[in-house]
Structure 1
Amino acid sequence: MHAGSPERKQPDRQAAIESALRTVATEQAGVAALGAALANGLAEPFARAIDLISHIEGRVIVTGVGKSGHIGSKIAATLASTGTPAFFVHSAEANHGDLGMIARDDAIIAMSWSGETKELMGIVAYSRRFSIPLIAITSGETSALARAADVVLLLPIVPEACPHGLAPTTSTLLQLVMGDALAIALLEARGFTPDHFRTLHPGGQLGANLTLVSEIMRTGDQIPLALVGTKMPEAVMTLSQKKVGCVCIVDASGKLVGIVTDGDVARNLHRNLADVSVDEVMTRTPKTIDPQTLAGTAIAMLNEHNIGALVVIKNKMPVGVVHFHDLLRIGAA
């Protein structure tokens, strides 16, 4: 046990649950207060901050220390991943050489709940000396940081979830929400699309979900096809050979008019399928998808309709089939 640590006691399960509920309620109230502020006096400086950042030629430098620094690091990462070039500079390190990382065409977002953090003063002074735009995220309306800043995003003073009012909890949440609000507003202002997002997130499940269906669908001879009027034994043979779980039924012009699935076959086993054509068995309103659809959307459709494959169509003609296993293979499922 560390010196000064309280004596360990057996945790009370009910007390722990009640504590969690109080924390959530306190932080919800804090976010609600921030929402109310954004609907009123905070709206104008927020809009100015978005305008300022949108017009810089360089990057956004996010800075802070302590818990504000940790939140600032996350905000910088969110900005960078949503189309606003940004990185985090620790305020203390800035005072020991890292100021050289900040250029005149950059903008600075400085974070301090009180606005009086001494370690920030070096980077604040630097921003004033070289006329680098400075945005403050603080609750200190008359603080040194607020007085120096070009734009002040004044956070409402709200109770911390910590019962002693000491551990930054609600306050850091509001900083995080404000950072997310900036990032998303900038994303929308820049017209940042899922394709741009994909370029910046090529790895992991996120990158997989942003893959286009056209990149993974089965094409050419891999597409199970049969003409209207085809007898079911031939369709069943195609179903077995292509191993996609369905056969696309097309008319003489090549347009999709239905599909025959494993389920359709199973539901008609009571019939003499040798004498039945696909027209009598097929599902006439199959689930289809566009080639430019994201893999994540394809997964959602498969899950929503509890099916294993989607026909990819263009101009009403099947150009591919995407199966759940194709999505699983790239790590999207």
Structure 2
Amino acid sequence: MQPINRDFKQSALSVIAIEQQAIADLSQYIDQSFVDACERILSCKGKVVVCGMGKSGHIGHKISATLASTGTPAFFMHPAEANHGDLGMLTEQDVLLAISNSGETSELLALLPVVKRLGVPIIAMSNSASNTLASYADVNLCIKVHQEACSLGLAPTSSTTATLVMGDALAVALLNARGFTTEDFALSHPGGSLGRKLLLTLSDIMLSNERLPLARPQQTLREVLVEISRKGLGMAGIIDDEGKLIGIFTDGDLRRVLDARIDVHNVVIEQVMTANCITAPPAMLAAEVLKIMEKTKINSLFVVNEAGIPIGAINMQILLQAGII
């Protein structure tokens, strides 16, 4: 019977220490085989098809997702399903990345003769170069660990961690070799926060047309305040006869006017507006505009075209709703 151990903290620290060592030991396996695996994947005209059973399959799912999101087209194929028809997913232009710590997983091994007959290169991840999987593979990436972090030495723990890290090493090495950029990454993640920050421009999220609060220079401050209240952006743009933006009036400007005891009913907006206001072009990234607004401590601004005509407006609330903040 296994002794009872209720020292939860010590158990956890032991797991972390063992898995840290397993990761550190991986460095010795970043050798010519790793380089060969990268070269084969880089020259692949199809996709990387990742295959693994049980816990190796779960890790394989993550590895395929990481590869796909970092510029290496990939997907996961379940070996049991592949034995019953899904092997048709594999084409001669693909590379098979087969994962098995022991290298003796029966469902995976059953596929290999057919894969070899198709002429598909096989990259293995296993704990040895002498197991059956490695003997079929063109390249074997060693993921051997000294011990599992499980106190019984049975549950895949250190070995799955090492496999995951090796997969990450492969994905990032390929990312660097492809010259993959943050913009490329964003295109694979349009629904994520990074994608929004790197892809959304002001033209995608700005308010426009009749929602723009605009006024003429000779309108009274009272009339402009009505426009600001109606449009709800906390500001109004002042435009000349050609429609060009010549100034802005904001809630901050109103506070200054009230402090100066200016007659809001009779003063014209041209006398109290802020000229030479900060604007942005419609093609500017929303994330860049956020930086400008934070640096200059403003809450809103107008988007103008090349002629200086306001075609949109943006404020912090819009940026927040768009997921930029």
- Cα distance change on mapping 1:159 and 1:234 into 2, 3 Å: farther
CA contact (8 A) 2:112 2:136 kept: yes
Which SS does the other structure have where 1:180 is aligned? Answer: helix
Alignment partner, residue 217 of structure 1: 206
Alignment partner, residue 320 of structure 1: 312
Q: Which amino acid aligns with 1:67?
A: K
Aligned length: 320
Whether 1:53 aligns to 2:56 is: no
Residues 6-58 of structure 1 deviation map (CA, whole Å, 9 limit, x = unaligned): 99x9x96xx43454444445444444444xx2xx7515443433332232232
- Cα distance change on mapping 1:247 and 1:180 into 2, 3 Å: farther
Q: 2:283 aligns with which of 266, 281, 291?
A: 291
Whether 1:98 aligns to 2:86 is: yes
- Name the stretch that deviates more: 77-86 or 309-318: 309-318
> TM-score normalized by structure 1?
0.72
> TM-score normalized by structure 2?
0.73
Alignment partner, residue 155 of structure 2: 167
Alignment partner, residue 123 of structure 1: 111
CA distance in 2, matches of 1:286, 1:309: 9
Post-superposition offset of 1:67: 0.2
Alignment partner, residue 242 of structure 1: 231
- Cα distance change on mapping 1:243 and 1:62 into 2, 3 Å: same
CA distance in 1, matches of 2:79, 2:101: 14
- Cα distance change on mapping 1:203 and 1:121 into 2, 3 Å: same
Alignment partner, residue 254 of structure 2: 265
Which SS does the other structure have where 1:173 is aligned? Answer: helix
Q: Which amino acid aligns with 1:48?
A: D
CA distance in 2, matches of 1:72, 1:117: 14
Alignment partner, residue 74 of structure 2: 86
Post-superposition offset of 1:226: 5.6
CA distance in 2, matches of 1:171, 1:303: 46
CA contact (8 A) 2:29 2:142 kept: no
RMSD: 4.4
- Report the structure number with the largest CA radius of gyration: 2
Alignment partner, residue 146 of structure 1: 134
CA distance in 2, matches of 1:303, 1:43: 47
Post-superposition offset of 1:284: 6.7
Post-superposition offset of 1:105: 1.4
- Name the stretch that deviates more: 212-221 or 305-314: 305-314
- Name the stretch that deviates more: 306-315 or 262-271: 306-315
Q: Which amino acid aligns with 2:251?
A: D
Which SS does the other structure have where 1:109 is aligned? Answer: strand
* 5+ residue gaps, structure 1: none
CA contact (8 A) 1:104 1:131 kept: yes
CA distance in 1, matches of 2:271, 2:17: 59
Q: Which amino acid aligns with 2:151?
A: P
Post-superposition offset of 1:280: 6.2
CA contact (8 A) 1:289 1:298 kept: no
* 5+ residue gaps, structure 2: none
CA distance in 2, matches of 1:99, 1:49: 22
CA distance in 2, matches of 1:158, 1:289: 58
Which SS does the other structure have where 1:160 is aligned? Answer: coil
Q: Which amino acid aligns with 1:321?
A: A
- Cα distance change on mapping 1:130 and 1:213 into 2, 3 Å: same
Q: Which amino acid aligns with 1:241?
A: R
Q: 2:57 aligns with which of 51, 60, 69?
A: 69
CA contact (8 A) 1:61 1:87 kept: yes
- Cα distance change on mapping 1:19 and 1:271 into 2, 3 Å: farther
CA contact (8 A) 1:264 1:283 kept: no
Whether 1:16 aligns to 2:8 is: yes
- Name the stretch that deviates more: 99-108 or 275-284: 275-284
CA contact (8 A) 2:304 2:311 kept: yes
CA contact (8 A) 2:52 2:79 kept: yes
CA distance in 2, matches of 1:28, 1:246: 56
Q: Which amino acid aligns with 2:39?
A: D
Which SS does the other structure have where 2:236 is aligned? Answer: strand
- Name the stretch that deviates more: 22-31 or 145-154: 22-31
Q: Which amino acid aligns with 1:262?
A: D
